[in-house]
Structures are given as C-alpha cells and as structure tokens.
C-alpha cells in the first residue's frame, strides 16, 4: 500500500509542523509552571518527583524562541498573544526547512507533482486556508478530489516507482542497474548522449509521458479544450494549445485560480482533471499490474555462466 510523504502534509493542510507545535506546548507548560510557582499553587511543584522538563530541554527551546523569563512571567493573556506570534514565525521557518528531495534511483520523486505546484503561500499560509480546503471548493465530488490529492502525493499503485519503493529494493543496485529496472518499457524514450534511454516509470511518466496512458491524457486535454472554448472563448484557445504537456499538468494540479482563462473556467478545468484522475486509478492495474518486487524477479538462467555468483549490483543485467 502506497504511503504519503508525510513531511509534505503540513504544506498541504496548512497545519503547524509537529515539532513546532510540541515546542509551543512545552513553552506554554513552562509558563504555566512559572506562574504557578510564583503563586505557590502549582500542583506539579508540590510533587517532589515532578519532572515537567523530561520531554524537552526547555532551556534550549526557550532560548531558540527568544522566550526567556521576562516572557514566561507575562500575565497569561499577554503570554498567549506573544507565543501565538512566535509560533507563527517558527511554523514558517519550519515549513521552509521541509525537505522536498528524493532518491533519484526511484525516478523523479513520488511527490514530484506536489513539489512542482507549490506556491509561496504554502510556506506562509494565511489564516484558515490550506490547499486541501481550496480543492474542496474547486472539486465538489469527494472521490474525484481524493484522486487529485493521491496523484499529487504520488500514491499510484502498481507502477514501478511504488512497487520498488518499499524495503529499499534498489539500494544495492548501481545507478545504471536501477535505471534499467525502473525503465517503463512502453516505448517512450529520450535521447541522452546519442543513446535512447527508456524513461523511469514514475508518477511524472505516468501522468505526462507514458504510452500506456496516452489515450487517457488525450481525452483529458480534449475535454478541457472544449471547456476553454465554451467558458473562456475562442481567443484563449491558442494559449492552451501552445502549452506543453508538462505545463498543462502543472497548471491543472496547482491549487490556484490565476485568471488566465477566468476563475470559473479554471475551476471547471481542474474538476475535469479530477474526474479523469479517478478513471486513471481504475486503469493503473491494467497497465502496470505486471510489476513485481525485485525479490520476485526471475533470473534468466541462460544469462548465467556455470558457477557464476550473482552480484546484486549487476543483477539487473540478467533479469
């Protein structure tokens, strides 16, 4: 079962990164204890074994937040205001440190579409707004909406990038060996240094390049073109036609109505993509269902010499 790259969740749902929330809670606790100690009524202070600082090195947390005794000693309403502002600053810092990288052996990253459609407000979210909420407004059908989010997170079952991901199956393969294993084999290849290489069967490939999904892609773009014609007018058609497949996908997957085709038309365009993505998920098993984990790949005995020890680094040469 494919799993989402959880580090990206704060960006999608607009939540405070978990580490920041923990530190904020710890500081609130410290402030409560400071106030309680001053008033002599804090239960925790009466218990000689109480160790409120056990989970966190509160000194280093309060130092990094610039939240020393003068702040901790503030009256409760003032402290709450102060900590809210500090938590917001820390949350923005935390979001900017979220890692978007991936292991290149598995292609261009499962969350490639998510990364490509990130906007500046993902890192500095406005109050009460998140990408998930925006998709809620743009795509009414919940099944279609789920398909969009699953595609953005790269949760495509059956494809090689997903099948090989678990258990670090490609970790022991050389770069070239991993590339051969990841090759889609649909016939879509690109030229590099004069040689044609099969493209890796990752999320980007399935959505934008794969021959198996070409019919699906054409039907998406055809329906969207009709939508542009009906709701944005004939003059906007050349804009849509001039865009590459990658630019079209990037535009459709971005949770933003920018006005190139008019907000209403763009909302419809994204709904159309969402509907077709739901169909795509139904077809993935037919197109990519034959992929199996590395341990189930059979070694072609004719490729082995008698007594040869199979080196995992070149295993791919003989499967």
* Residue 186 binds to Zn ion (criterion: CB under 5 A): yes
Look up residue 173 and give its two tokens.
Answer: 């393969």
Of the pair 20, 163, the CB lying nearest Zn ion is at: 163
Provide the mask over 43-72, with x wherever binding to Zn ion is found by CB under 5 A and - wherever it is not: ------------------------------
How big is the site for Zn ion, counted in residues (CB under 5 A)? 3
Of the pair 190, 279, the CB lying nearest Zn ion is at: 190
* Residue 161 binds to Zn ion (criterion: CB under 5 A): no
Span interacting with Zn ion, options 150-158, 185-193, 232-240, 268-276, rule CB under 5 A: 185-193
Of the pair 38, 211, the CB lying nearest Zn ion is at: 211
Angle at 154 between CA 88 and CA 289, to 5 degrees: 160
Which of 20, 31, 111, 184 forms a contact with Zn ion (CB under 5 A)?
184
Span interacting with Zn ion, options 33-41, 167-175, 206-214, 226-234, rule CB under 5 A: 206-214
Look up residue 115 and give its two tokens.
Answer: 């990364």
Q: Are 273 and 216 in contact (CB under 8 A)?
A: no
Span interacting with Zn ion, options 29-37, 205-213, 241-249, 278-286, rule CB under 5 A: 205-213
> CA 136, CA 140: separation in Å to the nearest integer?
6
**Would you list the DSSP string of 239-289?**
HHHHS-HHHHHHHHHSS---SSS-HHHHHHHHHHHHHHHHHHHHHHHHHHT
Start-to-end Cα distance in the chain: 25
Of the pair 149, 210, the CB lying nearest Zn ion is at: 210
Of the pair 58, 186, the CB lying nearest Zn ion is at: 186
Q: Are 88 and 65 in contact (CB under 8 A)?
A: no
Of the pair 50, 197, the CB lying nearest Zn ion is at: 197
Q: What is the DSSP letter of 190?
A: E
Residue the block writes with tokens 């290849």 = 189
* Residue 210 binds to Zn ion (criterion: CB under 5 A): yes
For binding to Zn ion (CB under 5 A), which residues are involved? 184, 186, 210
């Amino acid at each position: 079962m494919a799993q989402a790259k959880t580090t990206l969740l704060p960006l999608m749902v607009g939540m405070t990164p978990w580490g920041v929330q923990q530190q904020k809670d710890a500081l609130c606790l410290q402030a409560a204890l400071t106030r309680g100690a001053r008033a002599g009524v804090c239960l925790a202070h009466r218990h000689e074994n109480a160790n409120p600082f056990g989970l966190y090195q509160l000194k280093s947390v309060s130092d990094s937040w610039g939240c020393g005794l003068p702040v901790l000693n503030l009256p409760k309403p003032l402290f709450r205001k102060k900590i809210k502002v500090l938590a917001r600053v820390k949350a923005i810092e935390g979001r900017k440190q979220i890692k978007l990288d991936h292991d290149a052996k598995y292609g261009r990253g499962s969350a490639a579409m998510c990364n490509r459609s990130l906007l500046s407000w993902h890192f500095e979210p406005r109050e009460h707004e998140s990408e998930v909420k925006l998709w809620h407004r743009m795509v009414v059908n919940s099944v279609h909406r789920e398909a969009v989010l699953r595609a953005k997170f790269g949760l495509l079952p059956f494809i090689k990038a997903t099948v090989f991901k678990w258990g670090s199956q490609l970790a022991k393969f050389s770069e070239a060996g991993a590339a051969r294993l990841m090759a889609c084999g649909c016939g879509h290849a690109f030229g590099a240094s004069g040689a044609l290489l099969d493209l890796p069967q990752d999320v980007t490939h399935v959505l934008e390049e794969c021959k198996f999904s070409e019919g699906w892609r054409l039907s998406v773009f055809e329906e969207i073109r009709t939508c542009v014609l009906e709701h944005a007018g004939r003059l906007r058609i050349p804009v849509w036609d001039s865009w590459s497949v990658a630019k079209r996908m990037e535009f459709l997957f971005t949770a933003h109505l920018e006005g190139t085709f008019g907000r209403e038309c763009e909302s419809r365009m994204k709904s159309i993509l969402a509907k077709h993505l739901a169909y795509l998920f139904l077809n993935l098993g037919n197109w990519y269902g034959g992929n199996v984990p590395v341990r189930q790949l059979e070694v072609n005995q004719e490729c082995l010499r008698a007594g040869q020890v199979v080196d995992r680094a070149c295993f791919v040469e003989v499967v």
